[in-house]
Amino acid sequence: MFSFIMTVLLLLLFNDQFFVNCWSNSFFSEQLFTNTSDANSLLLISFDGFRWDYIQSRRAKTPNFDRIISEGVTVQRGLKNAFVTKTFPNHYTLVTGMWEESHGIVGNQMYDPHLNQVFTPENISANSDPAWFDVGAEPIWVTNHLQKKGKSGVCMWVGGGAPVKKVHPDIFIPYNESFDDYNKIDTVVKWFSDDNPINLGLIYFDQPDAYGHKFGPDSSNVTEMIEHLDAVVGYLLEQLNKTSLLQKMNIILTSDHGFTNTPANKVIHLDKYVNSSLYNVSAFSPVALIWPLKGHFDTVYNGLKEGEAIDGNFSVYKKEDIPEYFHYKNNVRISPIIAVADDTYSFGTKEYPYPEHELGNHGYNNSLQDMHPFFIAMGPSFKKNFSVETFNSVDIYPLLCHLLHLTPAPNNGSLDIVSQLLIEEPTKIAVITLVTYILCISLILIVAGVFSAATIYYWNRSKYSLYTSLTSSESPLHLES
């Protein structure tokens, strides 16, 4: 019996699985020991329109981006983003993990027939209106607040101005063109190093998108802009080092979409196929959201379908026939007809001419390699000098939640590929060690306890049996006496 107990205890002691079961339990590893001011702070930066290959093509000198890649992780072929590959929709996807039909920001410009309102990026009150942003998704700063993990500071990120589930970011700076890039870094580094620091910071930069549109993605202007942004990243690393945050913080640099060239001779003139006074558009190029006027659905649809067959450089769908792989259908803000231009093509009409000065654009099919944005990251949670080929933009929200020890709200992403980028986090390893120690000591005490108990028991029993054997032989005498 005694040796059986010993064997069981020793087996438990040397069976890893026993410990794995204990420390994979979130009670031990996450809840109790989380320290938000430690390795759990996270900075997410987006450079608008930063195509997947802008660093690896070596077109620009990028020592600071390169440093993050060699000390952290990269995604070789960029992220597969959400359709339509536009700025507002994809920024909301990055922070919610949802396809556009689910988070509701289906374009930079949108029409909502229930609200009977139009959304435009310039409309300041629309940007802070929950009617546009609070329709099912939960941005990361709301998750961070609701689960009471810490404070969030949001610098110009899409959606940051609107309350969602009645929650605003703890700190928010609305979009402001004249705010200097270095000033953004100073501002957010200060948020992280304050007495009551944020644990989550987000910064939006509107370049190199603006130059990509104006000069085209392959222009020397975009190359120069990449070098400028590299200098901004260098400044960030320097400031984080100065404030001793660099070693403790996870940093993710990514973007919403890539870019393609849009030469003026590739403009598709839809007037050739249907009279544009028969429909409204809520967005136009390269994905046209078309709302036929009452009684004109068939004329508009048939005209566009004819155009599709003649021209051969765009696709037209009734809403219900939009391909499933776009995840772009189940939302009232998506129009009854959509037209999707092929890569490098643009739509134009007399009423909505394609701007001639526009040498680059995005918004196309999210399967096109050129539409994909870059992703690099470094910090205590990320492997060093490691890469994967690609993953989806919708996977970023669950990654952010994981890094912040939050339970993600319902979303369309997964950690399947993303988790390959991660090492065991230091806090977790410390906790594992601690829990292992506690268990080891408990087991040793139990073993020792059982052993001593057994020894005492045997010792007592042998003493007792000696005693009883002695007394029993004598007791009758005593009893009788």
Ligand X SMILES: *[C@@H]1O[C@H](CO)[C@@H](O)[C@H](O)[C@H]1NC(C)=O
- Cα dihedral sign, 336-342-344-346: negative
- Identify the helix (H) or strand (E) that includes residue 337: strand 337-341
What are residue 472's DSSP bridge partners?
none
Q: Which stretch binds ligand X (CB under 6 A): 57-65, 123-131, 151-159, 451-459?
A: 123-131
- Identify the helix (H) or strand (E) that includes residue 131: helix 130-133
Q: How many CA atoms lie within 13 A of 3 on its CB side?
A: 0
Cβ-proximal residue to ligand X, closest one: 410
Q: Which is nearer to ligand X, 124 or 448 (CB)?
A: 124
Asked if 277 interacts with ligand X (CB under 6 A), we say yes
Q: Which of 87, 93, 143, 427 is catalytic?
A: 87
Q: Which of 80, 184, 327, 372 binds ligand X (CB under 6 A)?
A: 327
Q: Which stretch binds ligand X (CB under 6 A): 120-128, 300-308, 371-379, 416-424?
A: 120-128
Using DSSP, state whether 360 is helix, strand or coil.
strand
Are 87 and 208 in contact, with CB atoms under 8 Å apart? no
- Between strands 171-173 and 314-318, the pairing is unpaired
267 backbone dihedrals φ, ψ, rounded to 5°: -90, 125
Q: Which stretch binds ligand X (CB under 6 A): 17-25, 52-60, 272-280, 448-456?
A: 272-280
Residues 22-41 that bind ligand X (CB under 6 A): 35, 37-38
Asked if 235 interacts with ligand X (CB under 6 A), we say no
376 backbone dihedrals φ, ψ, rounded to 5°: -140, 155
Q: Which of 7, 31, 243, 367 binds ligand X (CB under 6 A)?
A: 367
DSSP string, 370-424: GGPBPEEEESTTB-SSEEES--BGGGHHHHHHHHTT-PPPS-S--STTGGGGBPP
Asked if 241 interacts with ligand X (CB under 6 A), we say yes
Asked if the peptide bond before residue 84 counts as cis, ω within 30 degrees of 0, the response is: yes
Q: Which of 21, 220, 442, 475 binds ligand X (CB under 6 A)?
A: 220
For the record, the structure tokens of 196 come out as 């009551």
- Identify the helix (H) or strand (E) that includes residue 13: helix 2-14
Asked if 196 interacts with ligand X (CB under 6 A), we say no
Q: Which is nearer to ligand X, 98 or 404 (CB)?
A: 98
Q: Which stretch binds ligand X (CB under 6 A): 23-31, 253-261, 275-283, 424-432?
A: 275-283
Are 411 and 99 in contact, with CB atoms under 8 Å apart? no
Compute the least distance from the CB of residue 118 to ligand X, in Å: 5
Cα–Cα–Cα angle for 306, 312, 314, rounded to 5 degrees: 85
Compute the least distance from the CB of residue 456 to ligand X, in Å: 42
Q: Report the amino acid identity of residue 458.
A: Y
Asked if 365 interacts with ligand X (CB under 6 A), we say yes
C-alpha 349: how far from its chain's center? 37
CA distances from 259 to 1, 70, 219 (A): 74, 25, 12
Q: Report the amino acid identity of residue 84.
A: V
Residues 137-156 that bind ligand X (CB under 6 A): none
Q: Which is nearer to ligand X, 181 or 451 (CB)?
A: 181
For the record, the structure tokens of 72 come out as 């952290």
- Cα dihedral sign, 111-112-116-120: negative
Compute the least distance from the CB of residue 282 to ligand X, in Å: 8
Q: How far apart are CA 74 and CA 373, in angstroms?
A: 12
Compute the least distance from the CB of residue 451 to ligand X, in Å: 37
Asked if 243 interacts with ligand X (CB under 6 A), we say no
Compute the least distance from the CB of residue 223 to ligand X, in Å: 9
Residues 398-417 that bind ligand X (CB under 6 A): 410-412
Q: Which is nearer to ligand X, 6 or 121 (CB)?
A: 121
Asked if 181 interacts with ligand X (CB under 6 A), we say no
Asked if 311 interacts with ligand X (CB under 6 A), we say yes
For the record, the structure tokens of 153 come out as 């500071």
By CB under 6 A, how many residues form the interface with ligand X? 38
Q: How far apart are CA 354 and CA 326, in angstroms?
A: 24
85 in active site: no
Asked if 291 interacts with ligand X (CB under 6 A), we say yes
Q: Which is nearer to ligand X, 195 or 356 (CB)?
A: 195
Q: Which stretch binds ligand X (CB under 6 A): 118-126, 188-196, 400-408, 467-475?
A: 118-126
Q: x-or-dash pattern for ligand X, window 93-112, by CB under 6 A?
A: -----xx--x----------
What are residue 46's DSSP bridge partners?
204, 254
Compute the least distance from the CB of residue 110 to ligand X, in Å: 11
Q: Which of 187, 261, 313, 390 binds ligand X (CB under 6 A)?
A: 313
217 backbone dihedrals φ, ψ, rounded to 5°: -65, -25
Known catalytic residues are 87
Catalog residues that contact ligand X under the rule CB under 6 A: 35, 37-38, 70, 98-99, 102, 117-118, 123, 125-126, 129, 176, 178-179, 215, 220-221, 241, 246, 275, 277, 280, 291, 293, 311-313, 315, 327, 340, 365, 367, 385, 410-412
